[in-house]
Amino acid sequence: MTDWSPFRYLVVDIFLPKDAPHGLRARIILTVGEEWKWTEMNKSIPLTPGEWSIIKVDLGPDSLDWRRFIDDGFRSDVKKLGVRVESNGKIKYTGPIYIDKVKLSDE
């Protein structure tokens, strides 16, 4: 169990190499609670090849950043964090994706 309740934000930096195709997007997924329920960000964030993209998601109880809240205390029992890189299904990419500076923050 990891208690994230003292923090307001989760921040993740993602880098795509410059030869990656345009149109890839990223989304953060959390698995929480004793029953390992999952929730994901409401919207995905566009990734730009050759640049770092910063995903900053609100963890507060009034946040609208998540598809669904398990309950108001979901951040007090985080089991797993995932980052999903997705496309519209027409874009194919099998190269590297770099994830760095995963952090919890109050600002």
Quote the pLDDT of residue 17.
97
Cβ atoms of residues 26 and 93 within 8 Å: no
Quote the pLDDT of residue 72.
62
Q: 92: which 2 tokens?
A: 């194919």
- pLDDT, tens digit, for every residue of 2-48? 889 899 999 999 999 999 999 999 999 998 888 888 889 999 999 99
Specify the number of domains making up the chain.
Answer: 1
Quote the pLDDT of residue 69.
63
- Asked if residue 4 is part of any domain, the answer here is no
Reported pTM = 0.86
Q: Which residues of 31-61 are buried (b: 16+ CB within 10 A; e: fewer)?
A: bbbeeeeebbbeebbebebeeebebebebee
List the domain range (segments joined by +) for residue 45: 9-105
- pLDDT, tens digit, for every residue of 49-88? 999 999 999 988 778 888 876 566 677 889 999 999 998 8
Task: Kindly tell me if the per-residue pLDDT of 92 is higher than 80.
Answer: yes
Q: Lowest-confidence range among 38-42, 71-75, 89-93, 103-107?
A: 71-75
- Count of beta carbons in the 10 Å neighbourhood of residue 62: 7
- Asked if residue 2 is part of any domain, the answer here is no
Look up residue 74 and give its DSSP letter.
G
- Asked if residue 42 is part of any domain, the answer here is yes
Question: Distance between CA atoms of 52 and 59, rounded to whole angstroms?
Answer: 22
